[in-house]
Amino acid sequence: MRRRHSLLAAYPVLEETFQFPQLMTLTGSHLIAGRESAPHGHFYHGVNPANSTQLKPAYADATKDEADEAMCAAEGAFDALRLAPVETRAALLDAIADEIMALGDALLERAHAETGLPMARVTGERARAVGQCKLFASLIREGSWADARIDHAIADRQPLPKPDVRRVMMPIGPVVVFGASNFPFAIGVVGTDTVCALAAGCPVVVKGHPAHPGTCEMLGRAVMKALQKTGLPAGCFSLLHGRGTEIGMALVKHPHTQAVGFTGSLRGGRALMDAAAERSHPIPVYAEMGSINPVFVLPGALKERASKIAEAYIGSVTMGVGQFCTNPAIVLGLKGTELKQFVSNATAHATKVAPQSMLHRGICEAYDAGTAVWQTIDGIDLAAESEMRVNHEATQAACRIFTTTLDVLEANEELRREVFGPCSVITECSTLEDMLRFANSIEGQLSAMIHGTDQDLIDFAPLIRVLEKKVGRLIFNGFATGIEVCPSMHHGGPYPASSHSHFTSIGTASIYRWTRPVCYQGFPDAALPEALRGKNSRGSMRTVDGTLTRDDA
Ligand code: NAP
């Protein structure tokens, strides 16, 4: 079997000693429309990055036949899912939340063991995943998300009669989801992508992330149980394990796949986008591929509170060992004593940050290699590094803060590329024009941050006007890490931050990735979908003859 060089494949496994107490429940099987398909072929294991031990059971790459079986089952279940009463789909999401919680501490312990993420973090992330299930359940129960629009006929309109026209958002069909390595719950098997696709009425086939296969299996079993409980077809969900490109590519190219959700590297996301575009029937790939998230610390803010901003900045850089796509990788400030003070505060905090285990050895090695390249560049200084020694056996990464000037940043593309991990570059600019030039030169970003005073916002207004064209989310006096899951959240940005800047992968608006508008002209009331009938049975907000209303039409 052809394999691309995988970051994970580089993991030096020491010994297979770790016995997971809940081994009984894990078999390593692919879960295909309620059927367990035993692993065979090339085996791999989850690995505990904190002690380099393998975790049982063994997993294996799904085959193309298994991918085909999952996609055909998804296509077969599509009508049942999309035509099921809204209450049934909402009950499915509630049941998934319940089944996740029913896994109890065993789920948290497995995720902790497979990712190195602290128990407090995985506990918080589980709450977010469960909250997302409930949020989408209430979104579809309320119904306004479907954006129903009704324009009544005007038979005697001159010079021509106006027809009765109505439109509503409808699910697109089977969706393939690639779980992220850095959010095993909230952007994993039961993460936003999966949950909002099911909410919309789209069956889901997940390609689990090979760095935490046991966590994926536990969550996949939770979804299977929830489907059984709610009486929906098992084909609404499948989980396939696998490393390397073959299984993912087979899913993206499968004729039944209608869209793809992905969170990960630019290289991976771009490969999937290209494969989807080359299909005879191209499909959208909604890829969220990371960012350098520049931070502009303006003079008023530096004068007022350099030390506080520096502390919060280091907190953001090192949160989750820097393994966030919203990590503030570049900070820009105007040359002067206040910027010097900021650097001195930031470096003082950075040295105190204890090294921590990264998700897997591949990511850790990529981090060390990326920051080592930075150190070879003329004009960049390693201003601070975690004082405590790194334990390489525990896949640990040290916090590294660099300083440089804008000229050097502009001359070296490597410095403007994401290095995934707890590092960042503080950059000295000479003038506002310098900052503007940099902002104008950057590629699409998920976010940018401005730290300033009200007067700074007036003096630096052109900066905001430039950043609006470059980013998906602008943050004032805060940091982008720690994303709120809410209706107004936008987590996406112009390419290469994401593949479609119009869409978000977090928050309730993420549901629109899996839907398309369908327009009905001249249909009698009884033949229309529920959301478009005269009686507004859910009391949803609809646009009737140009006016937003919850009334009957
Ligand atoms: P990744 O390498 O992009 O992989 C993500 C998923 O996509 C995995 O299941 C991977 O399978 C699959 N995949 C990748 N390339 C593929 C291809 N050409 N064809 C088919 N499937 C493919 O991301 P990762 O493993 O999470 O971490 C690696 C790097 O991604 C990090 O160092 C970081 O730079 C970036 N990252 C970004 C984010 C973000 O939020 N945007 C999150 C996590 C990581 P295999 O692993 O089996 O190849």
- DSSP states of 495-522: TTTBS-TT--SSSGGGGGGGEEEEEEES
- pLDDT score for 277: 98
Does the pLDDT value for residue 377 go beyond 90?
yes
Domain assignment present for residue 376? The answer is yes
pTM of model > 0.85: yes
Task: Check whether residue 351 and residue 247 sit in a common domain.
Answer: no
418 Cβ closer than 6 Å to some ligand 1 atom = yes
Task: Check whether residue 268 and residue 402 sit in a common domain.
Answer: no
Gap from CA of 265 to ligand 1 centroid (Å): 5
Task: Check whether residue 116 and residue 264 sit in a common domain.
Answer: yes
Domain assignment present for residue 193? The answer is yes
List the 471-476 sheet strands across, edge first: 381-385, 400-405, 423-429, 330-334, 295-297, 445-451, 471-476
Catalytic residues: 288, 325
- pLDDT score for 261: 98
CATH of the domain at 419: 3.40.309.10
Does the pLDDT value for residue 173 go beyond 80?
yes
Q: What is the mean pLDDT of the chain?
A: 95
User: What span, in angstroms and rounded, lies between the C-alpha atoms of 133 and 136?
Assistant: 5
CATH of the domain at 222: 3.40.605.10
H or E segment to which residue 403 belongs: strand 400-405
Judge contact between 523 and 173, C-beta under 8 A.
Answer: no
- pLDDT score for 4: 40
Buried b (16+ CB within 10 A) or exposed e, 43-67: ebbbbbbbbbbbbbbbbbbbbeebb
Buried b (16+ CB within 10 A) or exposed e, 369-407: ebbeebeebeebeebbbbeeebeeebbbbbbbbbbbbbe
Mean pLDDT of the 384-399 span: 97
Q: Whose CA is nearest to atom 14 of ligand 1?
A: 268
Task: Check whether residue 244 and residue 383 sit in a common domain.
Answer: no
> 290 φ, ψ to 5°?
95, 175
Task: Check whether residue 285 and residue 310 sit in a common domain.
Answer: no
Looking at 146-244, list the stretches that DSSP marks H as alpha helix, in order from N- to C-terminal side. Answer: 192-200, 213-230
Q: Whose CA is nearest to atom 42 of ligand 1?
A: 264
Of 421, 453, 476, the domain-final residue: 476
User: What span, in angstroms and rounded, lies between the C-alpha atoms of 247 and 1?
Assistant: 11
Q: Which atom of ligand 1 is nearest to the CA of 363?
A: 32
Of 230, 257, 289, the domain-final residue: 289
Nearest to 176 by CA among 203, 200, 195, 196: 203
Provide, rounded to the nearest whole percent, the portion of the chain with pLDDT above 70: 96
178 Cβ closer than 6 Å to some ligand 1 atom = yes
Provide, rounded to the nearest whole percent, the portion of the chain with pLDDT above 90: 95
Task: Check whether residue 109 and residue 237 sit in a common domain.
Answer: yes
Judge contact between 483 and 326, C-beta under 8 A.
Answer: yes
Does the pLDDT value for residue 5 go beyond 80?
no
Q: Which domain holds residue 43?
A: 28-289
Q: Which atom of ligand 1 is nearest to the CA of 209?
A: 9
181 Cβ closer than 6 Å to some ligand 1 atom = yes
Of 476, 502, 526, the domain-final residue: 476
Mention every residue, 6+ apart, whose C-beta is less than 8 A from residue 92: 198, 226, 227, 230, 232, 236
- pLDDT score for 25: 77
Task: Check whether residue 226 and residue 130 sit in a common domain.
Answer: yes
Task: Check whether residue 191 and residue 216 sit in a common domain.
Answer: yes
Domain assignment present for residue 114? The answer is yes
Q: Which atom of ligand 1 is nearest to the CA of 208?
A: 9
- The number of helices, as runs of H, and strands, as runs of E, in the chain is 15, 24
- pLDDT score for 170: 98
Tens of pLDDT, residue by residue over 435-493, are 999 999 999 999 999 999 999 999 999 999 999 999 999 999 999 999 999 999 999 99
248 Cβ closer than 6 Å to some ligand 1 atom = yes
What is residue 383's three-state secondary structure? strand
Domain assignment present for residue 99? The answer is yes
Q: Which atom of ligand 1 is nearest to the CA of 182?
A: 43
Task: Check whether residue 122 and residue 174 sit in a common domain.
Answer: yes
Mean pLDDT of the 354-360 span: 97
- pLDDT score for 54: 95
Domain assignment present for residue 534? The answer is no
Domain assignment present for residue 16? The answer is no
User: What span, in angstroms and rounded, lies between the C-alpha atoms of 492 and 471?
Assistant: 8
Task: Check whether residue 387 and residue 285 sit in a common domain.
Answer: no
User: What span, in angstroms and rounded, lies between the C-alpha atoms of 495 and 493?
Assistant: 6
Does the pLDDT value for residue 17 go beyond 90?
no
- pLDDT score for 290: 84
CA angle 287, 138, 32 (to 5 degrees): 55
- pLDDT score for 244: 86
Does the pLDDT value for residue 8 go beyond 90?
no
User: What span, in angstroms and rounded, lies between the C-alpha atoms of 228 and 252?
Assistant: 27
Tens of pLDDT, residue by residue over 256-268, are 999 999 999 999 9
Tens of pLDDT, residue by residue over 301-350, are 999 999 999 999 999 999 999 999 999 999 999 999 999 999 999 999 99
**Tally of CB atoms within 10 A around 453:** 17
Query: How many structural domains compose the chain?
Result: 2
Does the pLDDT value for residue 7 go beyond 80?
no
Task: Check whether residue 76 and residue 119 sit in a common domain.
Answer: yes
Domain assignment present for residue 2? The answer is no
Gap from CA of 498 to ligand 1 centroid (Å): 14
CA angle 535, 541, 543 (to 5 degrees): 85
Residue 21 banded pLDDT, cuts 50, 70, 90: very low
As to burial, measured by CB atoms within 10 angstroms (0-12 exposed, 13-18 middle, 19+ buried), residue 433 is: exposed
7 Cβ closer than 6 Å to some ligand 1 atom = yes
Task: Check whether residue 345 and residue 436 sit in a common domain.
Answer: yes
Domain assignment present for residue 537? The answer is no
348 Cβ closer than 6 Å to some ligand 1 atom = no
Tens of pLDDT, residue by residue over 206-244, are 999 999 999 999 999 999 999 999 999 999 999 999 998
